[in-house]
Amino acid sequence: MVIKNVQLETVCGITSVLPVNEKPEIAFAGKSNVGKSSLINALMNRKALARTSGTPGKTQTINFYNINDALYFVDLPGYGYASVSNSVKEKWGKMIEKYLKTSGQLKIVFLLIDIRHEPSENDKNMYDWIVYQGFHPIIIATKLDKINRSQKDKHIKIIRDGLQVVPGTKIFPFSALSKQGRDEIWDYIDVVCQLTDEVKVVEQRNSSTETDIEIQVGEDRSNEPEVMIKPE
């Protein structure tokens, strides 16, 4: 996709009312410091719209990025940061849960895992919890440039086995440094959200007015577990 317009449109805190959008939503979840903001910036072809920080746990809101008036990237709070109190973690968990349960346009949930390491207990809990909510997360294995190229398949298998992913789950290796994996992720988004024709319509509309320019949802949640995220 050619990124022509990106805007941080909505920021939702603990007590905020979540927006009701008409365009497809793509959610990004992951442990603090896994490279979520760097991935989102790379996909949006922006350097620093999604804030990156050396301090984990900085994202404490749900941020909605409008991409080309065609879809939304939804940046969820990071998890597993030891310096955040248990009460704050609980609030984050409820905020994410509310979003997953109420969004009518959520098409993909990307779960980011550091390719260098075996999935942590928090990663496993988050994967299982998202599956319980009725979604099948797609894995993005970040920090690809931090391992030898010959080790990629080995580390992807470690992630697949560690999370015990649903058979057929896609895992996209990604490097924020080289942008390797960016096109493959966008191709997947285009297919799932059927964006190609819609983007053409949006671009045609913009050009006429400006000079330039099945995720399965579970139903039975009566015995729903809580998200057990532990300090790391």
Question: What are the pLDDT digits (tens) for 199-214?
Answer: 443 334 444 433 332 3
Give the residue carrying structure tokens 């109420």.
102
Q: Is the model's pLDDT at 187 over the cut of 80?
A: yes
What is the edge-to-edge ordering of all strands in the sheet holding 62-67? 6-12, 62-67, 71-75, 25-30, 106-114, 138-142, 171-173
Tell me if 127 sits within 8 A of 163, measured CB to CB: yes
Q: Is the model's pLDDT at 174 over the cut of 60?
A: yes
Q: What is the pLDDT of residue 201?
A: 39
Packing angle of the helix pair 195-209, 182-193 (nearest 10 deg):
90
Question: What are the pLDDT digits (tens) for 105-129?
Answer: 999 999 999 999 999 999 999 999 9
Spatial separation of the C-alpha atoms in residues 176 and 73, rounded to whole Å:
17
Domain borders along the chain are 6-208
Q: What type of residue sits at position 208?
A: S
The third-level CATH classification (topology) of the domain covering 6-208 is Rossmann fold (3.40.50)
Average pLDDT over residues 82-95: 74
Give the residue carrying structure tokens 């994202």.
59
Average pLDDT over residues 125-151: 95
Q: Coil, strand, or helix at residue 53?
A: coil
Question: What are the pLDDT digits (tens) for 2-52?
Answer: 899 999 999 998 888 999 999 999 999 999 889 999 999 999 998 878 765
Q: Is the model's pLDDT at 191 over the cut of 80?
A: yes
Phi, psi of 227 (to 5 degrees): -80, 120
Spatial separation of the C-alpha atoms in residues 220 and 216, rounded to whole Å:
12
Q: What is the pLDDT of residue 216?
A: 35
Q: Give kind and range of the element (H or E) at residue 80.
A: none
Q: What is the pLDDT of residue 81?
A: 61
